[in-house]
Amino acid sequence: MTHDANCIFCKIIAGQIPSRKAYEDEELLAFHDINPWAPVHVLIIPKAHVATLSDTGPEHAAMLGRMLALAPRLMAELGVTSGYRTVINTGPDGGQEVYHLHMHVMGGPRPWLKG
């Protein structure tokens, strides 16, 4: 599994930076965002360091599918019943701030209308 010693998400995976975990297995970690845009806002990340969605290929298809399939399960477990939003920001023009692939899953009343 690849890691980047300078990546904040790799440090969270390694336990060097604390997080409020929502889910973890051998391949994925989900944790609550420290600056939430919605009442429920979790990030789902692969444990292997992949910088952006553009850096994925056919070999990542199963992992990407598992990330997407985890979203509804987590939202249900966290009490979100009226819908949620999934977002993967990619690259500078896509608004990506941390260069470790991550999917935002935001639930609750109209989470995209943060002021």
User: Exactly one of 41, 49, 102, 104 is catalytic; which is it?
Assistant: 102
Q: Is 113 left (phi over 0), alpha (psi -120 to 50) or beta?
A: alpha
Query: How far is residue 33's CA from residue 38's CA, in Å, rounded to a whole number?
Result: 10
102 is catalytic: yes
Q: Are 98 and 9 in contact (CB under 8 A)?
A: yes
Rg (alpha carbons) of the chain, rounded to whole number = 14
- Would you please indicate which residues are annotated as catalytic (active-site) residues? 102
